[in-house]
Amino acid sequence: MKLYYAPGACSLSPHIVACEAGIQLELVKVDLGEHKTESGADFTEINPKGYVPALQLEGGEILTEGPAIVQFLAEQKPERDLAPEYGTLDHYRLLEWLNYISTEVHKAFAPLFSQAADEEKERAKKTVGKHFDFVERQLQRDYLLGDHFSVADAYLYTVFCWLGVHKIPTDRWPKLEAFRKRVEERSAVQKALEEEGLS
Protein backbone atom coordinates (compact mmCIF):
# COMPACT_ATOMS: atom_id res chain seq x y z
CA MET A 1 0.00 0.00 0.00
CA LYS A 2 1.05 3.56 -0.65
CA LEU A 3 0.44 6.53 1.67
CA TYR A 4 0.44 10.03 0.22
CA TYR A 5 1.49 12.38 3.00
CA ALA A 6 2.88 15.79 3.91
CA PRO A 7 5.25 15.94 6.91
CA GLY A 8 3.38 16.73 10.12
CA ALA A 9 0.02 17.10 8.36
CA CYS A 10 -3.02 15.04 9.36
CA SER A 11 -1.53 12.21 7.28
CA LEU A 12 0.83 11.65 10.23
CA SER A 13 -2.09 9.95 11.99
CA PRO A 14 -2.47 7.01 9.54
CA HIS A 15 1.31 6.86 9.25
CA ILE A 16 1.51 6.30 13.03
CA VAL A 17 -1.30 3.73 12.87
CA ALA A 18 0.49 1.80 10.12
CA CYS A 19 3.68 1.75 12.20
CA GLU A 20 1.72 0.62 15.28
CA ALA A 21 0.08 -2.14 13.23
CA GLY A 22 3.34 -3.26 11.64
CA ILE A 23 2.05 -2.48 8.15
CA GLN A 24 4.72 -1.55 5.62
CA LEU A 25 3.68 1.43 3.51
CA GLU A 26 5.36 3.04 0.56
CA LEU A 27 5.49 6.74 1.46
CA VAL A 28 4.93 9.39 -1.20
CA LYS A 29 5.55 12.98 -0.12
CA VAL A 30 3.15 15.61 -1.45
CA ASP A 31 3.73 19.35 -1.82
CA LEU A 32 0.31 20.63 -0.81
CA GLY A 33 1.00 24.13 -2.13
CA GLU A 34 1.78 22.87 -5.62
CA HIS A 35 -0.41 19.74 -5.46
CA LYS A 36 2.52 17.71 -6.76
CA THR A 37 4.06 14.48 -5.55
CA GLU A 38 7.82 14.28 -5.07
CA SER A 39 8.09 12.72 -8.53
CA GLY A 40 6.22 15.68 -10.05
CA ALA A 41 2.89 13.91 -10.60
CA ASP A 42 -0.31 15.93 -10.30
CA PHE A 43 -1.68 14.93 -6.90
CA THR A 44 -5.22 16.02 -7.82
CA GLU A 45 -5.29 13.15 -10.31
CA ILE A 46 -4.68 10.79 -7.39
CA ASN A 47 -6.99 12.55 -4.94
CA PRO A 48 -9.26 15.15 -6.60
CA LYS A 49 -9.90 16.63 -3.13
CA GLY A 50 -6.31 17.87 -3.27
CA TYR A 51 -5.29 17.07 0.28
CA VAL A 52 -3.63 14.30 2.26
CA PRO A 53 -3.89 11.61 3.41
CA ALA A 54 -4.67 9.32 0.54
CA LEU A 55 -4.03 5.60 0.73
CA GLN A 56 -3.56 3.59 -2.45
CA LEU A 57 -4.64 0.00 -1.84
CA GLU A 58 -3.08 -3.09 -3.37
CA GLY A 59 -5.69 -3.18 -6.13
CA GLY A 60 -5.07 0.47 -7.03
CA GLU A 61 -8.15 1.91 -5.35
CA ILE A 62 -7.67 5.18 -3.46
CA LEU A 63 -9.06 5.62 0.04
CA THR A 64 -9.22 9.16 1.45
CA GLU A 65 -10.13 10.88 4.74
CA GLY A 66 -7.96 10.17 7.77
CA PRO A 67 -10.66 8.70 10.04
CA ALA A 68 -11.61 6.16 7.35
CA ILE A 69 -7.98 5.30 6.61
CA VAL A 70 -7.00 4.72 10.25
CA GLN A 71 -9.97 2.40 10.78
CA PHE A 72 -9.14 0.51 7.59
CA LEU A 73 -5.52 0.06 8.69
CA ALA A 74 -6.54 -1.04 12.19
CA GLU A 75 -8.86 -3.66 10.74
CA GLN A 76 -6.03 -5.15 8.65
CA LYS A 77 -4.30 -6.14 11.89
CA PRO A 78 -7.02 -6.73 14.50
CA GLU A 79 -4.53 -8.52 16.76
CA ARG A 80 -2.80 -5.16 17.37
CA ASP A 81 -5.98 -3.95 19.10
CA LEU A 82 -5.87 -0.41 17.68
CA ALA A 83 -9.66 -0.14 17.39
CA PRO A 84 -12.41 -1.70 19.52
CA GLU A 85 -14.46 -4.55 18.13
CA TYR A 86 -17.21 -3.49 15.72
CA GLY A 87 -20.63 -3.22 17.36
CA THR A 88 -19.35 -2.63 20.91
CA LEU A 89 -19.99 0.62 22.75
CA ASP A 90 -16.25 1.31 22.69
CA HIS A 91 -16.36 1.09 18.90
CA TYR A 92 -18.90 3.89 18.83
CA ARG A 93 -16.88 5.86 21.38
CA LEU A 94 -13.98 5.60 18.93
CA LEU A 95 -16.18 6.93 16.12
CA GLU A 96 -17.36 9.69 18.44
CA TRP A 97 -13.77 10.81 19.09
CA LEU A 98 -12.65 10.51 15.46
CA ASN A 99 -15.62 12.63 14.36
CA TYR A 100 -15.04 15.25 17.05
CA ILE A 101 -11.34 15.57 16.28
CA SER A 102 -12.05 15.74 12.54
CA THR A 103 -15.03 18.08 12.41
CA GLU A 104 -14.29 20.33 15.37
CA VAL A 105 -10.63 20.33 16.41
CA HIS A 106 -8.97 19.74 13.03
CA LYS A 107 -11.38 22.02 11.17
CA ALA A 108 -10.82 24.85 13.69
CA PHE A 109 -7.14 25.00 12.69
CA ALA A 110 -8.00 25.82 9.05
CA PRO A 111 -7.57 29.64 9.31
CA LEU A 112 -4.18 29.15 10.98
CA PHE A 113 -2.89 27.20 7.99
CA SER A 114 -4.24 29.76 5.49
CA GLN A 115 -3.63 33.36 4.51
CA ALA A 116 -6.48 34.47 6.77
CA ALA A 117 -6.46 37.91 8.37
CA ASP A 118 -4.90 38.22 11.82
CA GLU A 119 -8.30 38.82 13.39
CA GLU A 120 -9.65 35.56 11.94
CA LYS A 121 -6.55 33.70 13.14
CA GLU A 122 -7.03 35.01 16.68
CA ARG A 123 -10.65 33.82 16.63
CA ALA A 124 -9.45 30.44 15.41
CA LYS A 125 -6.94 30.19 18.27
CA LYS A 126 -9.73 30.82 20.78
CA THR A 127 -11.92 28.16 19.15
CA VAL A 128 -9.05 25.65 19.09
CA GLY A 129 -8.41 26.43 22.75
CA LYS A 130 -12.04 25.73 23.70
CA HIS A 131 -11.89 22.37 21.94
CA PHE A 132 -8.72 21.37 23.77
CA ASP A 133 -10.29 22.56 27.05
CA PHE A 134 -13.04 20.00 26.39
CA VAL A 135 -10.58 17.21 25.54
CA GLU A 136 -8.52 18.03 28.65
CA ARG A 137 -11.62 17.58 30.82
CA GLN A 138 -12.52 14.29 29.12
CA LEU A 139 -9.03 12.76 29.27
CA GLN A 140 -9.35 10.81 32.51
CA ARG A 141 -6.84 8.03 31.80
CA ASP A 142 -3.74 7.55 29.65
CA TYR A 143 -5.62 7.49 26.35
CA LEU A 144 -8.97 8.61 24.95
CA LEU A 145 -10.60 5.19 25.34
CA GLY A 146 -8.90 4.34 28.62
CA ASP A 147 -5.58 2.60 29.23
CA HIS A 148 -5.03 1.35 25.67
CA PHE A 149 -3.72 3.29 22.66
CA SER A 150 -6.17 3.52 19.74
CA VAL A 151 -6.30 5.12 16.31
CA ALA A 152 -8.09 8.12 17.87
CA ASP A 153 -4.99 8.81 19.98
CA ALA A 154 -2.84 8.98 16.84
CA TYR A 155 -5.17 11.64 15.45
CA LEU A 156 -5.37 13.61 18.70
CA TYR A 157 -1.58 13.55 19.02
CA THR A 158 -1.20 14.88 15.48
CA VAL A 159 -3.54 17.85 15.91
CA PHE A 160 -2.23 18.66 19.40
CA CYS A 161 1.28 18.95 17.94
CA TRP A 162 0.00 21.68 15.61
CA LEU A 163 -0.22 24.00 18.62
CA GLY A 164 3.59 24.09 18.65
CA VAL A 165 3.67 24.90 14.94
CA HIS A 166 1.53 27.98 15.64
CA LYS A 167 3.37 28.86 18.87
CA ILE A 168 0.26 28.42 21.01
CA PRO A 169 1.25 27.70 24.63
CA THR A 170 0.03 24.34 25.93
CA ASP A 171 0.62 24.72 29.67
CA ARG A 172 -3.10 25.17 30.35
CA TRP A 173 -3.61 21.53 29.29
CA PRO A 174 -1.34 19.50 31.62
CA LYS A 175 -3.12 16.20 30.92
CA LEU A 176 -2.78 16.72 27.18
CA GLU A 177 0.89 17.68 27.55
CA ALA A 178 1.46 14.42 29.45
CA PHE A 179 -0.53 12.59 26.76
CA ARG A 180 1.66 14.06 24.00
CA LYS A 181 4.84 12.96 25.78
CA ARG A 182 3.38 9.50 26.44
CA VAL A 183 2.44 9.02 22.78
CA GLU A 184 5.76 10.41 21.56
CA GLU A 185 7.65 7.80 23.60
CA ARG A 186 6.02 4.98 21.63
CA SER A 187 8.49 3.33 19.24
CA ALA A 188 5.97 3.32 16.39
CA VAL A 189 5.43 7.06 16.78
CA GLN A 190 9.18 7.66 16.81
CA LYS A 191 9.46 5.62 13.61
CA ALA A 192 6.74 7.66 11.86
CA LEU A 193 8.28 10.96 12.98
CA GLU A 194 11.70 9.87 11.78
CA GLU A 195 10.35 8.75 8.40
CA GLU A 196 8.71 12.17 7.95
CA GLY A 197 11.86 14.02 9.02
CA LEU A 198 10.18 15.35 12.18
CA SER A 199 12.20 13.67 14.94
Residue-wise pLDDT tens digits, 147-184: 999 999 999 999 999 999 999 999 999 999 999 999 99
Q: Indicate which CATH number applies to the domain containing 125.
A: 1.20.1050.10
- Please state the rounded mean pLDDT for residues 188-194: 98
* Residue 199 confidence (pLDDT) above 90: no
* Residue 124 confidence (pLDDT) above 90: yes
What pTM value is reported for the model? 0.97
8, 63: one domain:
yes
SS3 sequence, the chain?
CEEEECCCCCCHHHHHHHHHHCCCCEEEEEECCCCEECCCCEHHHCCCCCCCCEEECCCCCEEECHHHHHHHHHHHCHHHCCCCCCCCHHHHHHHHHHHHHHHHHHHHCHHHHCCCCHHHHHHHHHHHHHHHHHHHHHCCCCECCECCCCHHHHHHHHHHHHHHHCCCCCCCCHHHHHHHHHHHCCHHHHHHHHHCCCC
d(CA 68, CA 31): 22
d(CA 78, CA 37): 31
List pLDDT tens digits, range 52-83: 999 999 999 999 999 999 999 999 999 999 99
58, 126: one domain:
no
Instruction: With cut-offs at 50, 70 and 90, classify the pLDDT of residue 11.
Output: very high
95, 181: one domain:
yes
Give the count of domains, the chain.
2
User: Which domain covers residue 75, as residue numbers?
Assistant: 2-80+188-195
* Residue 36 confidence (pLDDT) above 90: yes
